[in-house]
A and B are shown apart, each in its own frame.
Chain A
């Protein structure tokens, strides 16, 4: 570990690959930085080199009628959205850190928002990438067409790889036309069981909603936020259906404001204490949330009812936060889910590891890592299997 960090801002994929090859030769460790919004994830220590992706930006290809877009990985998601909006289209991803997050960072961190109910996650929308590798080569995975099974789906391995295999320099996504109408509701419930039951009814109903999220923050109340987008008749139907499910469970509906944005941005706010992120079988969320609600240090909980991804923010005395975080990770595992400490305050770093247990298949992950990065220079501390 050196005291000074060398910063490299490569202008293209080839230059990026050269930086990596040099680093591998000299055994100098590398961190990859987009906007730096998710630098809290992982058990990271300072590296010798930091590669910035800011010059790997811009729209490379966008043929609106093909419903695909190819962009540089350093481009901000918000800037991609602005370009697409001019063509009446949108990228169906709404990751946290909405203003700053870059495309490469969103892929590397598998960073999803509340829209996956309808459109899927990064893995479902990403159809191609170019990556600079530690051996100095540039490889392409996938392609620019919406359907493609030629060779292995390396894109899937890159999603959530935290830069441990290479630097994503370019990505192609499926996009969609902007829907004609949008509406939603937010409802309050006294009991968590009612909020989750209403959410469950919404996601199983005939209407297809875009977001369906349960939240608990200040006070004992639970909130359910539902958003629908589409043609005017389908949106009206979806909101009417949701309102009926809410009323049937003693909930009180109101018009949707920016609640979904606030729920999505919980990771950005959770600076103190610890943020636990769990991925659960759908039906396990209500009991998990009920468990979380009894914890001494619970500050906020956001549960995506459509995907089973639940985030819990814990605040307070360090000992209580650590105890509660460990209890939640255990609770996630025993129901067949998984979890991580997504974020924690500086003083908790040494006491709360991001990935306290190894995932299944860790030996295969290790082999893949070793084969892409034999010198072990890329993103130390960001491998769940280490």
Chain B
């Protein structure tokens, strides 16, 4: 602590108990208190900090806005949490090259807002985009509703500046789409802070679509909604977003956001097509017809930007709205092949019943990326969270057995690292470990994440079902 203050100055280091408490949690359910929190203001600060921690063998845990949903920013093995709150500037908006260069603490939505006057935007739009940071997006390879057509964070990052755990500063990639040699930018994105600290990010900017059509369709049950998703894809339509919500989620959202979703529907789809104006109404009409063919009780097309915003506010505010239903929730984000949606949704429901917990579903149906929100009440005792986790594990096991993944966009973190053997064989994990050792041979970067740790994962012994 004293060493850190001497190195960086009093105003960049937090060590008081009451300050540290603010950094012991993120958007998930686990907590751990850091030994110190550092608020660097430059790459030089970050490099000095890394050298210090390397010398003293202290773990480093990077943190953006703390909105992560897998405990990625939690210092599970202690050490220094590095908050990027003071490195939040846009360094360059390069319109001719369709790039922006930003610092990691920049809030996702602020980038799109800043470049909108140029007719551009940053595509990945996680539901937390009003709060989450670009550095966090890079760490988690974040997605969002519109990644169905346009890809996730890794498809929109061309360059990074990183600080390795020994303090080495390295610039990888740049404004060009690719560099010679191994794609280290691609390796780093989605590495959950375990390979290094990102201090600067070069992202692609995309021309804003000329127009959009947003459709809300209500179905009697989730089955019809699921079948509609498959039918739309089979018809050769690739919407920019296909989101699904069940009745429990709809009720919570309506109570808090008043998005205008019908309360009596068993399942709701929110669909969007965007692009050149010509053809949008054609696509919208085909989507409407497919919805009606699948017994939609109501199909509503947003009449303008305001109504579209309202429909999306419901979807993006869904997690926050869960507070209307329950004091706590535990969210999983397993992925399945789209065609397995109806089976898996039934299984999710059964898992909830079996563990005596309510489950709300609000998710990226077009990608097959589930978000079951398992509702519990920690005031009723520790058993509640345990049952929620047990239900979550059953759901993830089913996702892997269906040929899917334990996480589509939230990351493994400390929440699912014990579950990695569900999806990966020892040889798969060993290959990943080689990458880790190349970047961080001393294991100081965000330890206890992604890879199963013997101490915490003893109770889990899985045989991988992966082919």
Contact = CB atoms under 8 A, between A and B. Distances in A.
Interface in A330-386: 336-340, 355, 358-362, 364-365, 367-368, 371-372, 383-385
B380 to A, nearest CB: 31
Interface string A103-116: 00000001000001
A133 B234 CA distance: 38
Given A149-B152, A153-B189, A359-B179, 19 more contacts: A68-B337, A123-B183, A143-B423, A147-B152, A148-B407, A149-B407, A152-B187, A154-B432, A157-B186, A157-B187, A204-B98, A207-B276, A233-B279, A279-B177, A281-B94, A282-B97, A365-B182, A368-B182, A368-B438
Contacts of A179: 236
Contacts of B409: 147, 149
B278 A236 contact: yes
B425 A121 contact: no
B403 A145 contact: yes
A151 B434 contact: no
B349 to A, nearest CB: 21
A11 interface: no
B176 A281 contact: yes
Given A280-B176, A360-B172, A156 B183 contact: yes
A146 interface: yes
Contacts of B183: 123, 156-157, 159-160
Interface string B178-207: 111111111101110000000000000001
A159 B186 CA distance: 10
Contacts of A230: 279
A88 interface: yes
A364 B438 contact: yes
Contact of B337 (A145, A180, A360): A145
Contacts of B438: 364, 367-368, 371
Contacts of A123: 178, 183, 186
A234 B176 contact: no
18 contacts: A120-B155, A121-B178, A140-B466, A141-B431, A148-B335, A148-B407, A149-B411, A154-B435, A156-B189, A160-B178, A206-B276, A281-B175, A339-B180, A361-B184, A365-B181, A365-B182, A367-B437, A383-B181
Contacts of A233: 278-279, 282
Contact of B424 (A151, A155, A339): A151
Contacts, number: 259
Given A140-B428, A157-B186, A150 B405 contact: yes
Given A63-B339, A360-B171, A146 B368 contact: yes
B99 A65 contact: no
A144 B337 contact: yes
B233 A147 contact: no
A153 B431 CA distance: 11
Contacts of B233: 65, 67, 177
Interface of A: 63-68, 88, 110, 116, 120-121, 123-124, 131, 133, 137-141, 143-157, 159-161, 176-180, 204-208, 230-234, 236-238, 279-284, 307-309, 336-340, 355, 358-362, 364-365, 367-368, 371-372, 383-385
B222 interface: no
A177 B191 CA distance: 32
Contact of B431 (A139, A143, A279, A337): A139
Contacts of A232: 279
Interface string B226-239: 00001001101110
B275 interface: yes
B348 interface: no
Given A144-B403, A282-B96, A368 B434 contact: yes
B230 A65 contact: yes
A230 B236 CA distance: 10
Nearest to A137: B427
A145 B335 contact: yes
Nearest to A136: B427
B234 A151 contact: no
Interface string B85-107: 00000000010111100000000
A307 B177 CA distance: 6
A154 B179 contact: no
Interface string B403-435: 111111111100010001001110111111011
B136 interface: no
Contacts of B186: 123, 153, 155-157, 159
Interface stretch (B126-134, B139-147, B289-297): B139-147
Contacts of A236: 278
A372 B238 contact: no
B176 A65 contact: no
Contacts of B209: 206
A64 B234 contact: yes
Interface in B245-299: 275-279, 282-283
Contacts of B174: 281, 336-337
B435 A368 contact: yes
B276 A279 contact: no
B435 A124 contact: no
A131 B431 CA distance: 10
B446 to A, nearest CB: 13
B315 interface: no
B151 interface: yes
B435 A157 contact: yes
Contacts of A384: 180-181
A91 to B, nearest CB: 15
A238 to B, nearest CB: 7
B176 A337 contact: yes
B336 interface: yes
Contacts of B191: 152
Contacts of B404: 143-145, 148
B401 interface: no
Contacts of A206: 207, 209-210, 275-277
A237 B187 contact: no
B236 A147 contact: no
B24 interface: no
B47 to A, nearest CB: 16
Nearest to B464: A140
A361 B367 CA distance: 34
Given A124-B155, A137-B430, A66 B436 contact: no
A121 B204 CA distance: 14
A120 B177 CA distance: 10
Given A149-B408, A231-B283, A283-B97, A154 B176 contact: no
Contact of B335 (A64, A137, A147): A147
A355 B425 CA distance: 36
Q: Which 7 A-B pairs have the closest CB atoms?
A: A156-B186, A177-B236, A283-B96, A206-B210, A367-B438, A359-B181, A281-B175
Instruction: Report which residue of A67, A307, A362, A372 has the largest number of chain B beta carbons within 10 angstroms of its beta carbon.
Output: A67
Contact of B412 (A116, A151, A160, A161): A151
Contacts of A308: 176-177
Contacts of A279: 176-179
B209 to A, nearest CB: 8
Contacts of B439: 364
A138 B431 CA distance: 9
A340 B140 CA distance: 32
A371 B176 contact: no
